[in-house]
Chain A
Amino acid sequence: MKKIIIITIGLISILFASSCDDELAQTNPNALTTEQFWKTESDAQAGVNAIYAMFYKDGLWARWIYFRLDLTSDEGYSVSPWTELADWTRFNYVNYNFWEGQVVTWRDTYKAIFRCNQVLANVPNIAFQNEDDKKKILAQAKFLRALHYYYAAVLWEDIPIVLTPSTPSDLPAQKNVTEVWAQVEKDLNEAFADLPPSWGADQTGRPDKGAAKAFLAKVYMQQRKWAEAKTALEYLITGPGARYSLVSNYRDNFTDVSENNSESVFEIQFGDNRLGGTDESQSAAVSSNRAQFFAPRSIGWSDGQARLWLVNAFKQEPNKAGTLDIRLRWTLYYPELLADFGDKTYGKNWEWGNEAWFRKGSRDYYRNNEDYYSQVNYRLIRYADILLRYAEVLNETGNTADAYQYVDMVRARVNLNTLAVAHPEIGNDHDKFLERLKMERALELAGESVRWEDLKRWGDLNSQASVDKIALRDPDFNNFVVGKHHRLPIPQVEDENNPNLNQHPEY
């Protein structure tokens, strides 16, 4: 019997030999670990590219951020049958965890910042053949981090600042908006130092020194730091970075046929190369959904549209030929579009009653519908905006007379008279000039996501009187509570789960 036991033990041992503990050390055959990555120059390059990929996410520049920047402002509104979506464009914030354009925008903002922080933490440890290439990568990460903090500060104001790669248990502390602005300024100044003056034709879309200065000007202006803003803008207009010009055809700023042109200061690059979603999967799209969501009913989702006052504003002043301002044609779809300019709307006769829709970025010039895969780049900052900003800064710093020429450059492109001729009543009056400039910016930049920050900067959201005036053009502002709705509520789930973050007191 002992023999049998011994034989059995031998037998069992042989069988057991198959089950060594090292079978327990399974490595993932599908992906690199974070420890394996961040070793080479191409890792660094792919890492910084991943930050750009955040432009294609639905919380940000693929879709929902336009609901905040364009539709919440007095340029746009929503009558979406999805009432909650529409409510969020008219200051009816009930559920602070509303996903579209609120929580997802917050989430994607910090996703982008996490990617910036990964680059900024890991790339310095990578050996580069050319140290300049490393500096350029770090500078791009800083620029993009500044960009995302900038828009987060415009929307929520007091938010947590995260500057290092995250760990799952992080509970970052909320900072006052002035600290956020300071961080944005710091990143942009550092980025400016190391960014190139321009990029090769196959790299357009990355920020250059001019883009950094343009964003610096935006940050300074939101803080009404006019002198600093003036210096920043001069880099683009008269300084070493003065290489921009307005394109002769206004529409060239809004189609895919004349992208990255001489007017473009910073442009988000979209493509239709991949037909997936806005997730992180293999087919993740690289496109904009804006036109699909803003196109008229039966053509797109029609969740956002333009206020009719814009049509009337354009019609206030004919151009030098005595015809309508051509910008009206390329800015809006509106009831008389066919009569005024001979354009159908996506090949259809007007069927939408007394309503207007945004035309910029739409693809009616070669198709009769929209989809989720628009390849039309989004000009986040173009030279016309810079010129009007410079005029504003000059006016604010007491140089109203000097400011005229920059407004006129923008007007001249569309064959309008000079401002002095068209509006002699302004003269050198700061307030009148600013009032007119507000209109000039609306006419030039309507539907380009600058209106909300403009209203905030001008202080038009700070008093009941000015809000009442806005409400005349946009009745949504009847819901606007001064001291509350100039910023969004913090997503409730973040407030609840982070002891270092508090909901805004007015919410």
Chain B
Amino acid sequence: MKTKFTQILNQRYYLLFFFSLLLQQTYAQQIAIKGRVSSAGGEAIPFANVLIKNTSTGAVTDFDGSYSITAKGTDILVFSSQGYKSKEVPVNNQTSINVSLTPDVLSLNEVVVVGYGSQSKKDLTGAISVVKADEIQKRQVTTVAEGLQGLVTGVKVRGGGRPGQEANIEIRGLKNLQGTNPLYVIDGLITTANRDFNPNDIESIQVLKDASAAAIYGSRAANGVIIITTKKGKKGPLQVEVSAKTSFTVMPKYDLMGTEEFAKYNNMAYDNAGLPRQNLNMSVNTDWQNEVFSTGMIKDYNASFSGGGDNSTFFISGNYFGNEGTVVGTDFDRISFRVNSSGSKGIFSIGENIALSNAKTDEMSGNPIIDVYRLTPTIPVYDAANPGGYGYGKQGVADTFGTNPLAIAEFANTTNENFRIRGNVWSELKFTSWLKYRFNFGYETSFDSYNFIRKIGNWSLNQPVEKSFINQNKGRSETMLYENTLTFKKQFGKHNITALVGQTFQKDNYNQISGTKRNLLVNPSTGQYFDVLDLGDSPEVAGFREEAALTSYLGRLEYNYADRYLFNAVFRRDGSSKFSDGNKWGNFPSVSLGWRVSNEPFFKADFIKDLKLRASYGELGSGAIRNYEYQGFINTNGAIILGNGQIMYPSATQVRLANSQLRWEKLKQTNIGMDLGILNNDLRFTADYFIARTEDVLYGFPILMTTGSDGGNPISNAATVENKGFELELAYSKKINDFSFNASLNFTKLNNKLVALGNGQNTHFQGNTITRDGGAVGMWYVLKTDGLFQTQEEIQNYKNSQGQVIMPNAQPGDIRFKDVNDDGQITNEDKDIVASPWPEFEMGLNAGASYKSFDFSMNWIGSHGATVYNGFRSVVDRFDDNSNYRTGIQPWTPENPNTDFPRITKGSTLNSRGDTDRFLESGDFIRLKYIGFGFNVPENVLKKAGISRARLSLSAQNILTITKYKGLDPEFSNGNIFERGVDVGAFPNLKTYSFGVEFGF
């Protein structure tokens, strides 16, 4: 290995040597010029280009903005840097030229971090979106992902309001079946921006959406890449920023019946079934939602200190985030600290970013979102007759297996705590103005502790009495990342070349030990259980360890001719321990082209300030499977009993089958895009069209049960998935004196299609969905209803083509199902594809305005065309199983035949089956995701108080939703890829009202 690599490096050495020869053009009559490039405020501008006009000779400033160059006394120097207007200065035989550059306000000159480097936004050839940090920070979010909702085209976010809940992100559709979250890169560390990460630390976010942009991350980039850069200090005196935000969160509620109305319909259901009525407890009228849900509260306090000198900077921040949940017994607390610093001397610079966080979650027990409607209003909250003293179902009185959420919150309590250190140390050697070596070491470790305690007490009907026990586990994860990159950047006249080569190595490991003890002691003076593993009996211990490694080689070539023709090529080769020997390595290339038409001499259209066309193609990988998946293992957990003394004997066998030939999943993506700026770039338009085809999708489709495999479906390279779509973004901004205004509209349309299923299968069923060649993933596959039977005569006349009565056992008021296959009966064969869970398009509208000290902004999101399954209604409208019901329903009765709600009956599933289109609804919605007002206290007021900046803000989230959906929240999330449209007990997004103050000193 070592020799192989030395060879490669030697080859590179010759290449570099060749380039260096080309550059030996410095001969006579030249003078040495030194100087410093700074911004108008005096801050050094590192990496600024200094070019002798009309030549290819140039230099680049170092970390403190200094440069040196030799030129003729008559030359003109051109100073340029990303984000600044370039400036020409004649040498005039000066030996010292200091230049200050003025910022270029056009966003086109933004610097975009693209992975192992950065590019100017105007030079981009791939599909990359940049999100301003304050767009995220103005919202009250737990994770970064939540904050991105509606801000970026092609990025779909689904979250929920449970304390500590992490939102799911899907970039450009469902490209594989393993898990849709993108790769997060925080300050160069490949990680996850989970709930441990403080969003207030973010300086900028870039979303790499197409293959050419993400290819530098190769095998892990198939779901897109989100690059987060955290804040850095700036030169100057100490800056102190303090902010505090307090929010109240409110749970949306179901419209459920009280006892009186409930009793009427419950009795009707029993009467219709010919069953004796329940002996309902009419004296009780419990509103379970009131008992279980309450107003939640979020506190988000943040303080940061930053500053720097000529050669060093620092940034320190601390954050407390506390979220008292809207559901009984839920809570989330996070404390985090961050220190980012950097320094330089000569050609050497070094820096680090490190964050410490401790997050503690009191997890939700059971699912109260479901149980509040499974419990009937006739059940009292407390019932001394039950073990533990809580009320729940009782046979013949309140027949339901619903769980009392207060009881389970007390008797089965889970807490999770994670202490995490995440950071990196980097150093750079800048040998010349055009050659830079960078070493980056990333390290992340997390200490996880899980604690579950089961106290004695019951929460549902007929539950067996269980002994108390405690289960704890302690886990530790560790990731180490080594990266070496060499960057070459030089301009030769109109040719701009940036080349990057690198090598990275990452190692991950995780280990865990766990223990269980039963029959816990109760402390007689407090009544509390001793929740330590020392006490109790029947000990059980367990533990495991996992390791994985990834080795990569990468390269990128960027070429820009005269700011008109842009070319970008990336290659990455990854080797992973997750695959068998012959399949470990994968190659991931990409190329992209850009043409800045507006810079062509022939392009004469004054109103078009900027026009760029882009095209790219690339291949990305995904190996998001667990370790050791390609091997079959022996399970030695089992035991058997033999003999009269109940003697235990060990057992061992293969439980789960494995596919030995697993290989990398590959995403092949083509992107065509256009950027247009008109009206002096006030109006900007970006459009992208893409085709993303994922082959060899890694997924564990269910295999036949006749194989006898259990414990998870074996992963295989099982499918080919295709996503096509386009994204449009239109943005307008204008500033007129004290008034400024901006608005942007984004639009995403996506078509998902399963091209082929492997494993000899062509169809996959899950729940009420079907995934079949040529169709989208998870289409609704159910029986079709066709109204209600009104009379016995209608039932007798409902015949197939052979004259067979299709539903002879039906009664008036029952649902009429369509006999799709015309066989004279209603069976599973009559199911059909009826709708799609995929939206036809999704939109976001962001608008803001400011006038003097006041500002205002809002985000709207909308989704159209998805059909979703209302799990709530599938429970409360079925009546064969007891639950509470929706207020105001109008079930069919002979007296009330003009309704679409069938006859209600207890004791038969025939009328209430869940696998019909009865519970499918339109998932369309438009939501005011965020609305906020801010007031910046005028400077003249502040000066006296010694405060440089003060701001008050008032905002609200999710307060307005326009939808016909009858569940709690149309913006729900379901982690099951095939049943993404099923809303069963998903935690809703909460109405959130926030008040914030910020000060700067």
Note all chain B residues with C-beta closer than 8 A to A300.
462, 464
Note all chain A residues with C-beta closer than 8 A to B546.
28-30
Among B230-238, B405-413, B652-660, the stretch in contact with A? B652-660
Note all chain B residues with C-beta closer than 8 A to A56.
640
Task: Tell whether A397 is near chain B: CB-to-CB under 8 Å.
Answer: no
Task: Tell whether A238 is near chain B: CB-to-CB under 8 Å.
Answer: no
Interface hits, A198-251 → B, CB 8 Å? 201-206
Whether B637 and A168, one on each chain, are in contact in the complex, defined by CB atoms closer than 8 angstroms, is no
Note all chain B residues with C-beta closer than 8 A to A498.
704, 706
Whether B395 and A297, one on each chain, are in contact in the complex, defined by CB atoms closer than 8 angstroms, is yes
Note all chain A residues with C-beta closer than 8 A to B659.
168
Note all chain A residues with C-beta closer than 8 A to B909.
83-84, 87, 92, 94
Shortest distance from the beta carbon of A444 to any chain B beta carbon, whole Å: 24
B919-954 near A? 1/0 per residue, CB < 8 Å: 000000000000000000000000000000000000
Shortest distance from the beta carbon of A157 to any chain B beta carbon, whole Å: 15
Knowing A83-B907, A87-B909 are in contact, say whether A259-B706 is a contact too (CB < 8 A). Answer: no
Which residue of chain A is the closest to B439 with respect to CB atoms? A15
Whether B9 and A9, one on each chain, are in contact in the complex, defined by CB atoms closer than 8 angstroms, is yes
Docked CA distance A384–B913 (Å): 44
Docked CA distance A2–B17 (Å): 7
Docked CA distance A166–B708 (Å): 7
A4, A25, A375: the one within 8 Å of B431 (CB): A4
Task: Tell whether B331 is near chain A: CB-to-CB under 8 Å.
Answer: no
Whether A169 and B759, one on each chain, are in contact in the complex, defined by CB atoms closer than 8 angstroms, is yes
Docked CA distance A173–B627 (Å): 33
Task: Tell whether A73 is near chain B: CB-to-CB under 8 Å.
Answer: no
Whether A46 and B652, one on each chain, are in contact in the complex, defined by CB atoms closer than 8 angstroms, is yes
Note all chain B residues with C-beta closer than 8 A to A118.
653-654
B424-435 near A? 1/0 per residue, CB < 8 Å: 000001011000
Note all chain B residues with C-beta closer than 8 A to A270.
641
Whether A28 and B628, one on each chain, are in contact in the complex, defined by CB atoms closer than 8 angstroms, is yes
A52, A106, A167, A275: the one within 8 Å of B538 (CB): A275
Whether A83 and B908, one on each chain, are in contact in the complex, defined by CB atoms closer than 8 angstroms, is yes
Knowing A26-B577, A286-B639, A492-B828 are in contact, say whether A170-B707 is a contact too (CB < 8 A). Answer: yes
Whether B641 and A491, one on each chain, are in contact in the complex, defined by CB atoms closer than 8 angstroms, is no
Shortest distance from the beta carbon of B825 to any chain A beta carbon, whole Å: 10
Task: Tell whether B513 is near chain A: CB-to-CB under 8 Å.
Answer: no
Which residue of chain B is the closest to A493 with respect to CB atoms? B765
Task: Tell whether A269 is near chain B: CB-to-CB under 8 Å.
Answer: yes
Task: Tell whether B675 is near chain A: CB-to-CB under 8 Å.
Answer: no
Task: Tell whether A321 is near chain B: CB-to-CB under 8 Å.
Answer: no
Among A277-285, A357-365, A387-395, the stretch in contact with B? A277-285
Docked CA distance A201–B647 (Å): 10
Task: Tell whether B26 is near chain A: CB-to-CB under 8 Å.
Answer: no
Docked CA distance A333–B913 (Å): 34
Task: Tell whether A412 is near chain B: CB-to-CB under 8 Å.
Answer: no
Whether A110 and B706, one on each chain, are in contact in the complex, defined by CB atoms closer than 8 angstroms, is yes
Docked CA distance A26–B575 (Å): 12
Task: Tell whether A316 is near chain B: CB-to-CB under 8 Å.
Answer: no
Note all chain B residues with C-beta closer than 8 A to A494.
704-706
Task: Tell whether B761 is near chain A: CB-to-CB under 8 Å.
Answer: yes
Whether B643 and A205, one on each chain, are in contact in the complex, defined by CB atoms closer than 8 angstroms, is yes
Docked CA distance A95–B633 (Å): 34
Shortest distance from the beta carbon of A273 to any chain B beta carbon, whole Å: 5
Docked CA distance A163–B627 (Å): 30
Whether B882 and A202, one on each chain, are in contact in the complex, defined by CB atoms closer than 8 angstroms, is no
Task: Tell whether A89 is near chain B: CB-to-CB under 8 Å.
Answer: no
Task: Tell whether B544 is near chain A: CB-to-CB under 8 Å.
Answer: yes
Note all chain B residues with C-beta closer than 8 A to A298.
395, 462
Task: Tell whether A309 is near chain B: CB-to-CB under 8 Å.
Answer: no
A270-303 near B? 1/0 per residue, CB < 8 Å: 1111110001111110100000100001101110
Note all chain B residues with C-beta closer than 8 A to A84.
909
Task: Tell whether B34 is near chain A: CB-to-CB under 8 Å.
Answer: no
Which residue of chain A is the closest to B516 with respect to CB atoms? A283
Q: What are 10 A-B contacts with C-beta separation under 8 Å?
A: A5-B17, A12-B484, A20-B1, A21-B551, A25-B577, A46-B650, A50-B640, A111-B709, A170-B706, A283-B540
Task: Tell whether B998 is near chain A: CB-to-CB under 8 Å.
Answer: no
A294-338 near B? 1/0 per residue, CB < 8 Å: 000110111000000000000000000000000000000000000
Note all chain A residues with C-beta closer than 8 A to B575.
21, 24
Whether B631 and A33, one on each chain, are in contact in the complex, defined by CB atoms closer than 8 angstroms, is yes
Which residue of chain B is the closest to A20 with respect to CB atoms? B1
Whether A21 and B1, one on each chain, are in contact in the complex, defined by CB atoms closer than 8 angstroms, is yes
Count residues of B near A (Cβ-Cβ below 8 Å): 108
Whether B1 and A162, one on each chain, are in contact in the complex, defined by CB atoms closer than 8 angstroms, is no
Note all chain B residues with C-beta closer than 8 A to A81.
393, 395, 399-401, 461, 881-882
Which residue of chain A is the closest to B465 with respect to CB atoms? A369
A25, A160, A205, A282: the one within 8 Å of B642 (CB): A205
Docked CA distance A106–B710 (Å): 12
Note all chain A residues with C-beta closer than 8 A to B657.
166-168
Shortest distance from the beta carbon of A93 to any chain B beta carbon, whole Å: 10
Which residue of chain B is the closest to A352 with respect to CB atoms? B395
A479-507 near B? 1/0 per residue, CB < 8 Å: 00000000000011110111101000001
Docked CA distance A492–B165 (Å): 36
Note all chain A residues with C-beta closer than 8 A to B482.
15, 18-19
Which residue of chain B is the closest to A108 with respect to CB atoms? B710
Shortest distance from the beta carbon of B910 to any chain A beta carbon, whole Å: 7
Whether A29 and B584, one on each chain, are in contact in the complex, defined by CB atoms closer than 8 angstroms, is no
Task: Tell whether B976 is near chain A: CB-to-CB under 8 Å.
Answer: no
Q: A46-B650, A111-B655 are in contact. List 8 more A-B contacts (CB 8 A).
A: A31-B633, A51-B653, A81-B401, A81-B881, A83-B907, A95-B915, A280-B655, A283-B516
A37, A167, A499: the one within 8 Å of B634 (CB): A37
Whether A34 and B705, one on each chain, are in contact in the complex, defined by CB atoms closer than 8 angstroms, is no
Shortest distance from the beta carbon of A213 to any chain B beta carbon, whole Å: 21
Note all chain A residues with C-beta closer than 8 A to B581.
25
Interface hits, B436-466 → A, CB 8 Å? 437, 439, 461-462, 464-466
B698-727 near A? 1/0 per residue, CB < 8 Å: 000011111111110010100000000000
Docked CA distance A357–B464 (Å): 17
Whether B641 and A171, one on each chain, are in contact in the complex, defined by CB atoms closer than 8 angstroms, is no
Shortest distance from the beta carbon of B821 to any chain A beta carbon, whole Å: 13
Note all chain A residues with C-beta closer than 8 A to B910.
92, 94
Whether A46 and B651, one on each chain, are in contact in the complex, defined by CB atoms closer than 8 angstroms, is yes
Whether A171 and B760, one on each chain, are in contact in the complex, defined by CB atoms closer than 8 angstroms, is yes
Which residue of chain A is the closest to B635 with respect to CB atoms? A280
Docked CA distance A101–B638 (Å): 22
B13, B516, B709: the one within 8 Å of A6 (CB): B13
Shortest distance from the beta carbon of A59 to any chain B beta carbon, whole Å: 10
Task: Tell whether A176 is near chain B: CB-to-CB under 8 Å.
Answer: no
Note all chain A residues with C-beta closer than 8 A to B399.
81
Whether B637 and A83, one on each chain, are in contact in the complex, defined by CB atoms closer than 8 angstroms, is no
- Among A103, A280, A300, the most chain B Cβ lie within 10 Å of the Cβ of A280
B634, B652, B714: the one within 8 Å of A33 (CB): B634
Note all chain B residues with C-beta closer than 8 A to A47.
651-653
Docked CA distance A131–B760 (Å): 42
Note all chain B residues with C-beta closer than 8 A to A370.
464
Interface hits, A80-118 → B, CB 8 Å? 81-84, 87, 92, 94-96, 103, 106-107, 110-115, 117-118
Shortest distance from the beta carbon of A159 to any chain B beta carbon, whole Å: 8
Knowing A32-B633, A33-B632, A202-B643 are in contact, say whether A23-B702 is a contact too (CB < 8 A). Answer: no
Shortest distance from the beta carbon of A117 to any chain B beta carbon, whole Å: 8
Whether B654 and A172, one on each chain, are in contact in the complex, defined by CB atoms closer than 8 angstroms, is no
Which residue of chain B is the closest to A98 with respect to CB atoms? B909
Docked CA distance A169–B700 (Å): 12
Docked CA distance A103–B378 (Å): 35
Whether B641 and A273, one on each chain, are in contact in the complex, defined by CB atoms closer than 8 angstroms, is yes
Note all chain A residues with C-beta closer than 8 A to B632.
33-34
Whether A260 and B644, one on each chain, are in contact in the complex, defined by CB atoms closer than 8 angstroms, is yes
Task: Tell whether B603 is near chain A: CB-to-CB under 8 Å.
Answer: no
Whether B464 and A372, one on each chain, are in contact in the complex, defined by CB atoms closer than 8 angstroms, is yes
Whether B709 and A168, one on each chain, are in contact in the complex, defined by CB atoms closer than 8 angstroms, is yes
Whether A292 and B464, one on each chain, are in contact in the complex, defined by CB atoms closer than 8 angstroms, is yes
Which residue of chain B is the closest to A299 with respect to CB atoms? B462
Task: Tell whether B740 is near chain A: CB-to-CB under 8 Å.
Answer: no
